[in-house]
Amino acid sequence: MSGADTSEQSVRVDREAAIAIVTVDRQDALNALDVATLTRLRDELVTLAADDAVRVVVLTGAGDRAFIAGADIKYMSGLGVDDATAWGSLGHDAGRLLETMPKPTIAAVNGFALGGGCELALACDIRYASSRAKLGQPEVNLGIIPGWGGTQRLARVCGIGVAKELIFTGRTVDAEEAVRIGLVNAVHDPVLDRARETAQLLATKSPVALRVMKRLANRALGGDHADNLVAEGESFGELFASEDAREGLAAFVEKREPKFVGR
């Protein structure tokens, strides 16, 4: 895979105390992801996942038109099989990081979230949309499939019936429909304010409890239900060894706000 490295400008990370706001900024292409941008995004997510000072990650797009209008179609139009496979892996890496990093991730969908853009939003734990947002998986119109997790995560978020209709037809949905079908959690303008508000709230919670809940919740729609409940029970017990659990329980008893340290 090749491409001029314009990534430094096209992905920004702004730290606001314990919150990291990641902004994809290729506004000339409605924030569509080329190789340099997606590589940079993946690398920034790797860094944020490992940084204990960051408790919540918010993903958004620059400007007021687009979150991410998908993979860069102009780039993809020249791909052979090997490059397309590598390109697929890169998108999967970014999605997997958003889905599995040990802290909450929030998509602030401020416009078009199409194709790979919708897929990255789906990989986040929580999604908010602006009232002008449009979301969907239009890959079928290009003769390809949603290949960065869309055939799987859309069904997990919205149910298999809705997912099949949307990926088979390529139909996009507006914000009002997105909230009705569960594709986004809420609609709010400006959407980043709503994402920030939730992020600030989550940054006050126990990072240990959030990490364990996220890992367990990610198992909820897969694997064996009974095994998953056993895992939950074991994790519950183990949490009592954490400073955060002792602090949370003590703070309630002492009628004060808890201060969680993430251990």
Among 94, 95, 105, 112, binds ligand DAK (CB under 6 A): 112
234 tagged catalytic:
no
- Tokens, residue 94: 């970014």
139 tagged catalytic:
yes
Alpha carbons within 13 angstroms on the beta-carbon side of residue 87 total 25
Q: For tokens 């090749």, what's the residue? A: 2
Element (H, E) at 255: none
37 touches 26 (CB < 8 A):
yes
Applying CB under 6 A, does 104 fall inside the site for ligand DAK?
A: no
Q: Supply φ then ψ for residue 66, to 5 degrees.
A: -140, 145
Choice between 68 and 162, CB closer to ligand DAK: 68
Choice between 44 and 139, CB closer to ligand DAK: 139
158 touches 181 (CB < 8 A):
yes
Residue type, 137: Q
**DSSP symbol at 125:** S
* Shortest distance, position 130 Cβ to ligand DAK, whole Å: 15
* Shortest distance, position 28 Cβ to ligand DAK, whole Å: 6
What residues have CB less than 8 Å from 217, skipping those under 6 apart? none
What residues have CB less than 8 Å from 135, skipping those under 6 apart? 109, 112, 113, 114, 118, 121, 129, 172, 173, 178, 183, 184
Site string for ligand DAK, 63-92 (x = CB under 6 A): ------xxxxxx-x-------x--xx--x-
Applying CB under 6 A, does 29 fall inside the site for ligand DAK?
A: yes
Site string for ligand DAK, 161-180 (x = CB under 6 A): --------------------
List, as own/partner pairs, every contact residues 160-164 make where C-beta atoms lie below 8 angstroms and the sequence separation is at least 24, other chains included: none
Q: Coil, helix or strand for 237?
A: helix
Among 115, 207, 248, 258, binds ligand DAK (CB under 6 A): 115
Among 147, 207, 248, 258, binds ligand DAK (CB under 6 A): 147
Element (H, E) at 148: none
Given the rule CB under 6 A, which of 108-116, 160-168, 180-188, 240-248 is the region that contacts ligand DAK?
A: 108-116
Given the rule CB under 6 A, which of 51-59, 137-145, 186-194, 204-212 is the region that contacts ligand DAK?
A: 137-145
Among 11, 18, 21, 30, binds ligand DAK (CB under 6 A): 30
Residue 255 sits at the vertex; the CA angle it makes with 249 and 260, to the nearest 5 degrees, is 45
Residues serving a catalytic function are 119, 139
Chain contacts with ligand DAK (rule: CB under 6 A): 29-30, 32, 69-74, 76, 84, 87-88, 91, 112, 114-116, 138-139, 142, 147-148
